[in-house]
A = this chain, B = another copy of it.
Amino acid sequence: MSSAVTRARIVEIADRLFYERGYQHTSFADIGAAVGLSRGNFYYHFKSKDSILDAVIESRVASTRRMLAEWETEHDDPADRIMRFVEIVVTNGPDIRAHGCPVGTLNTELAKLDHALRGRARELFTVFRTWLRDQFALLGHADQADDLAMHVLTFSQGVAVLSNAYRDEEFVRREVDRMRDWLSTYSR
């Protein structure tokens, strides 16, 4: 099979495993078994575990950008776009209850490891942050847009951690409602 295709499959599966079990707790052998490749053969595609992580982060950044761009075409009102983000914790509820937020948990893990790719992982937050900032600016709050963006991120991370700990769907719904009320005071 072509190298590019195999590489993409490795990244896709590593992405899922890193999310579900964490980076440290996912071994070369795990990825190899899931992809259907021998462990040693990995070295042809990726020279180290870190380089797989790097590719996974890059892939996540790209797909996040795609998703946000799509939301912009689907909603004209920036407030609707922001709510679309807020509701991720409902839309992806089952995954988040089981494994937390992909962005938050990766950042938390890499911070503990003092990992070289910590900075790259933070970019994932920044993609959302700048996008949210832009939406608040469009709503006429350019002066405090970044602050409001960070507040929305704070909400989503808090909900993710606690819904993961308690596996409580109702709690998520109540927090989303609260967020909707808060957001309405910043809408047109």
Contact = CB atoms under 8 A, between A and B. Distances in A.
B125 A99 contact: no
Given A24-B24, A105-B112, A112-B25, A158 B153 contact: yes
A159 B174 CA distance: 19
Copies of this chain held together in the complex = 2
Contact of A107 (B122, B151, B164): B164
Contact of A24 (B25, B165, B178): B25
A75 to B, nearest CB: 24
A100 interface: yes
A54 interface: no
A144 to B, nearest CB: 9
A43 interface: no
Nearest to A152: B158
A104 interface: yes
Contact of A164 (B25, B108, B162): B108
A165 to B, nearest CB: 5
A136 to B, nearest CB: 14
Interface of A: 20-22, 24-25, 98-100, 104-105, 107-109, 111-113, 121-122, 125, 147, 150-151, 153-159, 161-162, 164-166, 171, 174-175, 178
